[in-house]
Structure 1
């Protein structure tokens, strides 16, 4: 009988997502803030893309990077929320094996892109504030396109082996994933073979992404804003200093909102056996869903040119 059961799960056609283990009775209530976050993220990021496309004066490096971030946020949140809401509302917990691996890839790939684009935006602000006369010659359209391509390729390539490695292992323990989405390590832990290669690779990716790539992004962001703050202190008026302080602080808060819960989730998989599972799952959702909601508010509505253009649209409609 045990052999038969093992054979049944060797190549599972579907996985079962439990949602948030231990909080099943509250799934409907939990879905309300998550659904609200998703709606704000969709509306905000599409608004950013629309305004930048329609306004020629916004065809500049800062807004190109902002559009890249908006697209990344749309893909990242859409990779998770629809299936999560189907679990919460309709108890639709099944997900096909291939679809699970695709979701796994998209989540990790676009998370790495998010970090890279944040670093690129910090560099753009550094050049604009600290060396404004050379901004147009340093960040030309081809350079911006090359930075965007490099960020995209970095995210795609570093995560690419993960779904292929996960696909090759037999799954004979269970096909139940105690999560709201197909997290990489949550899937790998279901394998019944010797998963040391995949485990070591996953640990290497975690170290590279959190310790090197994201760490490198944090270093560049910190370096950029340190130089920006030095330039702020030389500004003659208090209003100008406060305005730039608010911008720097809000940008860093958004990045830390993404970075800290992400690092917590990665380390919990390895060392957090005593962390309650429902708390781990909630934190894993926060770091993927909250930044896509905050980014268009902080970077978009908080940017004067986009805010003015948005007011113009509403004013024209009102008249």
Structure 2
């Protein structure tokens, strides 16, 4: 596995993917997982090539930013099996894509945030302006808009304008101080629920929430924050979960058992197949109104049934 620049300890998507490899090893002793962490985008290609040289059976790229490097290396090594999280590569029949309809779960998070907010202002920001990030922000903004429509309210979203595809970005996935700075600005503007889609950068948001004495809460992403960043569990309202772990585990297990994964149709995680979800409310369970909980549950069922449409131009194609 080659990580994105967020590193293996991002408490987010790199960590989720590594957990999938570890789970595959537990399930099949023949699986021997290893990883290399990328510190810059220039590392992607040489990191992938070193695993080709080592004749690894399955080489996993974690993150949409790695699409270009993965395409190049995979097309030069067609007998090698690759996988990629948060991207798909046209014409590369040896790259298995694992993508997620995160707009669906983020829609639920937006509705929840709007219903939970006391100030009438919620916020989101991204690590980089790329589709696997902005798809969360689209869903979140639409969930707030849906709440406003259903309740005749006017909860505002700071940090993202879906129509204009314009908003706030940290420009990285590993700078907690930047996360703090962005969050402090949102809080000064009145936001009391913040969803960072920024890997380790988002831990800065959790720090601000910790210091607020309960006035600010956080919606985490990728891995249930109460499992991946336990020390912040008391500020995590919920998490928009991408079940990268199970998707990776199954792909690795299939590969290890000799199945040819190919490139299509790949894997798409949805609310229906539990590839995306909202995590439990954990320490907020008693703080979230029972009526709001049941509305979120009903909304999930309506999205699965197709009676509520969730759409994003940034969703996996």
Q: What TM-score do the two structures reach when normalised by structure 2?
A: 0.27
* Larger proportion of helix: 1
Who wins on radius of gyration, i.e. which is larger?
1
